[in-house]
Amino acid sequence: MIDRLLTIKEIAKILRVSERFVLRYIESSRLEVSRIGQWRIKQSDLNKFLEKYSNVKTKSKKKLI
Protein backbone atom coordinates (compact mmCIF):
# COMPACT_ATOMS: atom_id res chain seq x y z
CA MET A 1 0.00 0.00 0.00
CA ILE A 2 1.34 3.43 -0.96
CA ASP A 3 1.33 6.11 1.73
CA ARG A 4 -0.33 9.39 0.96
CA LEU A 5 2.14 12.31 1.07
CA LEU A 6 0.93 15.35 2.99
CA THR A 7 2.20 18.93 2.92
CA ILE A 8 3.07 20.97 6.00
CA LYS A 9 -0.09 22.99 5.40
CA GLU A 10 -2.23 19.81 5.37
CA ILE A 11 -0.55 18.52 8.55
CA ALA A 12 -1.15 21.85 10.28
CA LYS A 13 -4.82 21.71 9.34
CA ILE A 14 -5.18 18.10 10.58
CA LEU A 15 -3.44 18.88 13.89
CA ARG A 16 -5.14 22.29 14.20
CA VAL A 17 -1.83 24.08 14.75
CA SER A 18 0.17 26.64 12.79
CA GLU A 19 2.54 25.66 10.00
CA ARG A 20 5.37 27.04 12.15
CA PHE A 21 4.42 24.57 14.90
CA VAL A 22 4.66 21.69 12.40
CA LEU A 23 8.10 22.97 11.35
CA ARG A 24 9.17 22.87 15.01
CA TYR A 25 8.13 19.21 15.20
CA ILE A 26 10.23 18.56 12.09
CA GLU A 27 13.25 20.53 13.39
CA SER A 28 13.14 18.61 16.68
CA SER A 29 13.03 15.29 14.74
CA ARG A 30 9.67 14.34 16.24
CA LEU A 31 8.07 14.19 12.80
CA GLU A 32 9.83 12.53 9.87
CA VAL A 33 9.76 14.30 6.50
CA SER A 34 10.99 13.89 2.94
CA ARG A 35 11.91 16.64 0.52
CA ILE A 36 10.02 16.14 -2.75
CA GLY A 37 9.93 19.61 -4.27
CA GLN A 38 8.70 20.77 -0.88
CA TRP A 39 8.52 19.10 2.51
CA ARG A 40 6.20 16.07 2.51
CA ILE A 41 5.13 13.86 5.39
CA LYS A 42 3.96 10.28 4.88
CA GLN A 43 0.55 9.53 6.32
CA SER A 44 2.03 6.55 8.19
CA ASP A 45 4.67 8.84 9.78
CA LEU A 46 1.92 11.21 10.92
CA ASN A 47 0.03 8.27 12.43
CA LYS A 48 3.18 7.15 14.29
CA PHE A 49 3.70 10.70 15.54
CA LEU A 50 0.12 10.89 16.81
CA GLU A 51 0.36 7.52 18.54
CA LYS A 52 3.58 8.53 20.28
CA TYR A 53 2.77 12.13 21.27
CA SER A 54 -1.01 12.20 21.61
CA ASN A 55 -2.44 12.59 25.09
CA VAL A 56 -5.40 10.44 24.03
CA LYS A 57 -4.62 6.74 23.85
CA THR A 58 -6.61 4.61 21.43
CA LYS A 59 -7.54 1.02 22.13
CA SER A 60 -7.59 -0.14 18.53
CA LYS A 61 -4.96 -0.05 15.81
CA LYS A 62 -7.21 1.89 13.41
CA LYS A 63 -5.71 4.59 11.23
CA LEU A 64 -5.92 7.98 12.86
CA ILE A 65 -6.67 9.73 9.57
Order of strands, edge to edge, in the sheet holding 38-42?
5-7, 38-42, 34-36
Note whether residue 12 is domain-resident.
yes
pLDDT of 23 reads 94
pLDDT of 3 reads 82
Note whether residue 16 is domain-resident.
yes
Which residue range forms the structural domain that includes residue 42? 5-53
Note whether residue 60 is domain-resident.
no
Looking at 1-65, list the stretches that DSSP marks H as alpha helix, in order from N- to C-terminal side: 8-15, 19-27, 43-53
CA dihedral 14, 33, 51, 44 (to 10 degrees): 80
Under-70 pLDDT residues of the chain: 1, 56-65
Contact 61, 42 (CB under 8 A): no
Note whether residue 65 is domain-resident.
no
Note whether residue 13 is domain-resident.
yes
Note whether residue 63 is domain-resident.
no
The count of domains in the chain is: 1
Give me the chain's average pLDDT, please. 86
Note whether residue 58 is domain-resident.
no
